Amino acid sequence: MYENILLEREDSLAILSVNRPKALNALNAATIREIGQAIDEIAADSAIRALIITGAGEKAFVAGADISEINHITSSMQGMQTSQSLHGVFDQIAAMNKVTIAAINGYALGGGLELALGCDIRVASTNAQLGLPEVNLGLIPGWGGALRLQRIVGTSMAKYLVMTGERISADEALRLGIVQKVYPAEELMAEARKLALTIGNNAPLATAAAKRLLNAGSEMPLRDAIQLEQALFGHLTATEDCKEGTTAFLERRKPEWQGK
Ligand code: CAA
């Protein structure tokens, strides 16, 4: 059904691998459309609790937007549409009540790093290389990369990375908070699965509320974000899962979540 991605399901986990080996998994328009369709499919599947996005093969997560497609853009309007295309995917990821983990298994450059930055959490292999090299192509990052990076590393470091286009190692990305964990390449997917299951096994309404709060909170003044926190906290205290979680703690047993 898909030509440029692989979509696998393992119980409550879905794994989407970008699969364009001839272009180091670079994202052309067709691939972006397929990622959007796959995420719609996963979002609608109530059995799935977590989505891992990775790159097929051993060399690349995603080496950016497809440069040959950009080379053929004929108007600034078409360029703007290219910029808009992956933002729809980020909106889908944000709206999904499931955690999305980028497993960065090699080059995550330009649009590749931007795709990873649009996920909730990032883990990387020790051999991964990350960067936003668009200035070397006469461009700026067009899929939110500069702005999401700015919110993680601060304005000066974001300017440094975007204006030099420098590639950084997984360890440097960990130090900067761009990725949350680094593992040897052969352990990356097993660790990403473990992380997905850990989050997937936590109280589903609580993890969804945490995602919503932190996504919305990063775009709000603190005072407003705290009001949202209070509303979500209040909502959760009235759920069966909160009763179950607190009772299970007091009874020294494991909770059983209903998602209610
Ligand atoms: N788009 C299209 N094709 C790409 C590509 C890309 N982003 N990245 C790699 N490829 C292709 C290469 O053209 C090459 O194809 P051929 O075998 O047909 O020549 C193949 O993948 C293998 O690549 P290399 O031979 O270059 O492999 P390498 O090991 O020597 O180098 C690399 C690897 C450092 C990742 C290098 O390929 C590279 O620099 N790629 C481009 C990275 C980049 O600039 N990304 C940003 C894209 S622009 C963007 O993302 C805009 C945006 O924000 C929306």
Average pLDDT over residues 4-30: 97
Is 90 exceeded by the pLDDT of residue 41? yes
Distance 112 CA to ligand 1 centre (A): 11
Catalytic residue among 114, 191, 229, 240, which? 114
Burial degree of 238 (CB within 10 A; 0-12, 13-18, 19+): exposed
Are residues 147 and 29 part of one domain? yes
CATH number at residue 223: 1.10.12.10
Residue 76 inside a domain? The answer is yes
187 and 213 fall within a common domain: no
Question: Is the domain of 244 the same as that of 169?
Answer: no
Q: Do 83 and 176 reside in the same domain of the chain?
A: yes
Question: Do residues 155 and 26 share a domain?
Answer: yes
Q: Answer yes or no: is pLDDT of 1 > 90.
A: no
Ligand 1, atom 28: closest residue by C-alpha: 24
Q: How many domains does the chain have?
A: 2
- For residue 219, indicate whether it is catalytic: no
pLDDT at 9 over 90: yes
Average pLDDT over all residues of the chain: 97
Q: Do 191 and 232 reside in the same domain of the chain?
A: no
Q: Are residues 172 and 132 in the same domain?
A: yes
Give a yes or no: residue 53 inside a domain.
Answer: yes
Task: Please check whether residues 222 and 169 belong to one and the same domain.
Answer: no
**What integer pLDDT is reported at residue 183 of this predicted model?**
98
Tell me whether residue 134 is one of the annotated catalytic residues: yes
Q: Are 75 and 27 in contact (CB under 8 A)?
A: no
Per-residue model confidence as pLDDT tens digits over 177-212: 999 999 999 999 999 999 999 999 999 999 999 999
The CATH number of residue 127's host domain is 3.90.226.10
Q: Is 242 in the pocket of ligand 1 (CB under 6 A)?
A: no
Give the integer Cα–Cα distance in Å for 27 and 69: 9
- Residue 27 Cβ contacting ligand 1 at under 6 Å: no
195 lies in the same domain as 212: no
**Does residue 257 lie within any of the structural domains?**
no
How many Å lie between the centroid of ligand 1 and the Cα of residue 107?
9
Can you give the three-state secondary structure of the chain, one letter per residue? CCCCEEEEEECCEEEEEECCHHHCCCECHHHHHHHHHHHHHHHCCCCCCEEEEEECCCCEEECCECHHHHHCCCCHHHHHHHHHHHHHHHHHHHHCCCEEEEEECCEEECHHHHHHHCCCEEEEECCCEEECCHHHHCCCCCCCHHHHHHHHHCHHHHHHHHHHCCCEEHHHHHHCCCCCEEECHHHHHHHHHHHHHHHHCCCHHHHHHHHHHHHHHCCCCHHHHHHHHHHHHHHHHCCHHHHHHHHHHHCCCCCCCCCC
The pTM of this model reads 0.97
The tens digit of pLDDT for each residue in 105-154 reads: 999 999 999 999 999 999 999 999 999 999 999 999 999 999 999 999 99
Verify that 195 and 215 share a domain, yes or no. no
Asked which of 200, 221, 237 is the last residue of a domain, the reply is 200
Q: What is the mean pLDDT of residues 157-180?
A: 98
Range of the domain at 174: 5-200
Q: How confident is the model at residue 219 (pLDDT cuts 50, 70, 90)?
A: very high
What pLDDT does 39 receive? 97
